[in-house]
């Protein structure tokens, strides 16, 4: 998988794009001002920066993502598991669940997911 690591501000910005795309750049400026408190220049700087990285397209003042959110989340999760837990998914889950409880519905959903991806 292509490495699509985003810093926190890039991720917050991309979330707005993913939720709104395709979005006119003027509307994106308004959304970033409302949700992030950004000025017009900050938004346009981010559009330019992320377009140069190949994460966004800005054509005719219409902004859209070139990378799916699912790819970013997948890379980020793999990165955490590999680096913090030596690649051990069970160690990650144990750490993540240490102070949490699941509802019955959540547990059933996780079981279905595991069953759907488990090798025979």
**41 shares its domain with 75:** no
Q: Which domain holds residue 88?
A: 70-117
- Do the domain assignments include residue 1? no
Are both 84 and 109 inside the same structural domain? yes
The pLDDT tens digits for 27-66 are: 999 999 999 999 999 999 999 999 999 999 999 999 999 9
pTM of the model: 0.78
Instruction: Please give the span between the terminal C-alpha atoms of the chain, in angstroms, as a whole number.
Output: 25
Q: Are residues 55 and 44 in the same domain?
A: yes
Which of these, 38, 41, 44, 46, lies nearest to 11 by C-alpha position? Answer: 46
Residue 54 backbone class (left: φ over 0; alpha: ψ -120 to 50; beta: rest): left
Domain tally, the chain: 2
62 shares a domain with 12? yes
């Amino acid at each position: 998988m292509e490495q699509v690591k985003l810093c926190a501000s890039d991720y917050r910005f991309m979330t707005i794009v993913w939720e709104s795309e395709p979005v006119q750049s003027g509307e994106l400026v308004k959304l970033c001002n409302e949700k992030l408190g950004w000025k017009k220049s900050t938004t346009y700087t981010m559009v330019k920066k992320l377009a140069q990285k190949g994460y966004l397209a800005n054509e005719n003042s219409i902004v859209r993502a070139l990378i799916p959110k699912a790819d970013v989340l997948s890379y980020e999760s793999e990165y955490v598991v590999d680096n913090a837990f030596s690649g051990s998914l069970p160690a990650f889950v144990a750490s993540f669940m240490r102070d949490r409880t699941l509802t019955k519905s959540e547990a059933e959903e996780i079981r279905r997911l595991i069953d759907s991806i488990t090798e025979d």
